[in-house]
Amino acid sequence: HDNGIIGVNRKGQVLSVSVNEETIIPYILQNTGNVELAFRLASRANLPGADQLYVQRFQQLMQQGQFNDAAKMAASSPRGMLRTENTINQLKHLQSAPGQLSPILQYFATILEKGELNRHESIELARPVLASNRKALLEKWLKEDKLECSEELGDIVQPHDATLALSIYLRANVPSKVVVCFAQSGQFDKIVLYCKRVGYSPDWAPLLQQVARLDGDKACEFALSLVKEDPPLVSADQVVGVFASQNLVQQTTRFLLDALKGNRESEAHLQTKLLEMNLLNAPQVADAILGNNMFSYFDRPYIAQLAEKAGLYQRALELYDNLDDIKRVAVHTEVVNGEWLINYFGNLSVEDSLAVLRQMLEHNAAQNLQIVVQAAIKYSDLLGPQKIIDMFEDNRCSEGLYYYLGSVVNVSQDPAVVFKYIQAALATGQTKEVERIVRDNNHYDAEKVKNYLKEASLPDQLPLIIVCDRFDYVHDLVLYLYSNGMSKYIEVYVQQVNSSRLPQVVGALLDVDCDEHVVKSLIASTPAQFSIGALVDEIEKRNRLKILHRWLEAKASEGSQDPGVYNALAKIYIDSNYEPEKFLSSNR
């Protein structure tokens, strides 16, 4: 057997015979004095007792400059008694002869040829091999079990090859470094399994911190794998703390978006933290998160404030409940989606909606007018037309009032609404629209509108003419136009608007002592679409029938068949005693 000979004698006894290795070399030295024999036997059989001889021979070779021989001898020394750190330090500083290996490499080569390197030798050999970019040699020796793996050897290899370092740490049983390598290489599924297999319980948070310093994205994947264990190996709060210390905003966001999928009330502070960090560092990401309605329990007032500061006014409005906050934010229509903002008013009370709309007009009417008008139109029935009218009038916003009322005036039967629309249209210079509304609308107070138009000093009197014509205020119209030097509009009225009103117009002109020549000219230039009888009656009432004399005779000479022409002429001839008998007898 390995330690000697086992035999059985004739008596049946089992005997074990072995050599006492501790005494062989001392025996040879003491009894034979043959130093060379003792040296060779100790070297070949790896026997103790010749240590001092080896030390002396090694020192002798070193002193004689036979460095490579000294290296070989040290590498082959019994039980590795010269394979020490001191020997390596002596050899690695020596220069090699031309064409020969350096003493230290000769030392390592000799050992590798016969066996394996010890811990210190493995470390010392790894340094020059990696420095010369010959990593493949280390891989080869590792597969051949020529290296003694240790934590320090793994640390030396790790910057050059993390996978090779992991293999060394596994062989050296260094769990703390193994899990770091697994994490750095993205093999997160193996970490927990490995720890369970070897019974290792690391402090996960510092481990995560270590990975985070090296690679934030890998740290995020690692963190997700840890929190998904049952029970979780780290808490979400711990992960956020680690990532925050490294300012890993994107990785924290990615982690929390996954970890907070359950939308649990107990995680309200983490929801707030996620939104806060993105509003401060990446507002567009926060905007997308809020837009997806993923969370319900975060601190709404606080996040609303941050959203406002970040310029995300729509998100701020979605979160604010306080009216003053809403009024302050809603005025920024230049950066808020208009359609969304209009729909937003549907979530507010009537009082709050009006208050916000007023604030928008007061802040910047030119910028906010379109949105205010559209909201007023959409919620007109809810808010009430009169309150909306008051809002525009209080802010002296005729344009807004005009556009708002323009959307309701055609369906409203409220005289006040129509009147306000006429006022707003005139204030904004929309005279043609005033003409249309007074002509087509049947729900306004004619007396009130007439008086307002007379006081409005219109550049064009056609709206007033239309009102007075429709509601039989002809006399008032003529008096107003004549007394204010606007006789041309009297001509416009009877010549272009309504010729049938000529009798009343002439009567009114005579009442204000208008020059007869003017009256005659007006009658002569007006299309014959009026009642001559009515004209005669109006003039006759004022005892001025004679002014029609020539005009009537002209009509008669043209062959007029209107009895009124001849009746009037008869009266004139009788009153003036101008051959009345002849006219009466000849007229048929």
- Its pTM stands at 0.65
The Cα 563–Cα 354 span in angstroms is 66
The upper half-sphere exposure of residue 140, i.e. CA atoms within 13 Å in the direction of its Cβ, equals 6
Calpha distance 507→547 (Å, rounded): 12
Q: Give the DSSP H or E segment for 16.
A: strand 14-17
211 within 8 A of 220, measured Cβ to Cβ: no
Average pLDDT on 307-333 reads: 96
Mean pLDDT of all residues in 237-249: 94
pLDDT level of residue 562 (50, 70, 90 thresholds): confident
Q: For 37-80, write each residue's pLDDT tens digit.
A: 756 666 665 565 556 676 777 677 777 767 677 667 777 766 76
**pLDDT tens, position by position, 117-161:** 889 888 888 988 898 888 898 999 999 998 999 999 999 999 999
Q: Which residue has the tokens 């090699």?
A: 96
Question: Tokens 């920024």 identify what position?
Answer: 332
Phi, psi (rounded to 5 degrees) for 158? -50, -45
* Averaged pLDDT score across all residues of the chain: 87
Q: Tell me: the pLDDT tens digits for 267-292?
A: 999 999 999 999 999 999 999 999 99
Q: Of 98-102, 349-353, 566-570, which one has max mean pLDDT?
A: 349-353
Q: Which two tokens stand for residue 564?
A: 């009124």
Task: Return the number of other C-beta atoms located less than 10 Å from residue 113's C-beta.
Answer: 11
Least confident span in 259-273, 330-344, 564-578? 564-578
The 8-class DSSP code of residue 486 comes to -
Residue 18: pLDDT above 90? no
Distances (CA, A) of 523 to 205, 519, 531, 559: 106, 6, 12, 18
> Is the pLDDT score of 9 beyond 60?
yes
Cα–Cα separations (whole angstroms), residue 162 to 35, 78, 157, 183, 185: 50, 36, 7, 11, 8
Residue 28's pLDDT is 67
pLDDT on residue 30: 66
Reported as half-sphere exposure (CB side, CA atoms, 13 A), residue 283 has a value of: 13
Q: What was the pLDDT predicted at 20? A: 57
What pLDDT score does 345 carry? 95
Q: For residue 561, what pLDDT is reported?
A: 79
Q: What is the pLDDT confidence band of residue 518, given thresholds at 50, 70 and 90?
A: very high
- State pLDDT tens for residues 438-466: 999 999 999 999 999 999 988 899 999 99
Q: What φ, ψ does residue 230 adopt, rounded to 5°?
A: -120, 105
**6 bridge partner residues:** 16
First to last CA, the chain: 171
Q: For residues 369 and 403, what is the distance between their CA atoms, to the nearest angstrom?
A: 10
Q: What is the predicted pLDDT for the residue at 462? A: 94
Nearest to 435 by CA among 420, 447, 448, 453: 453
Q: Could you give the angle at which helices 268-281 and 300-309 cross, rounded to 10 degrees?
A: 10
Helix axes 216-227, 204-214, angle to 10 degrees: 150
φ/ψ (deg, to 5) at 54: -65, -40
* Structure-token pair, residue 373: 């008008």
SS3 readout for 45-88: HCCCCCHHHHHHHHHHHHHCCCHHHHHHHHHCCHHHCCCCHHHH
pLDDT of residue 342: 96
- Tens-digit pLDDT profile for residues 165-223: 999 999 999 998 998 888 878 787 788 889 989 989 888 898 889 888 888 898 998 89
The values of phi and psi at residue 17, to 5°, are -120, 130
Strand partners, 188: none
Confidence of residue 362 (pLDDT cuts 50, 70, 90): very high
State the pLDDT at residue 457.
Answer: 85
CA angle 493, 498, 503 (to 5 degrees): 85
* Choice between 358 and 56, residue whose per-residue pLDDT is larger: 358
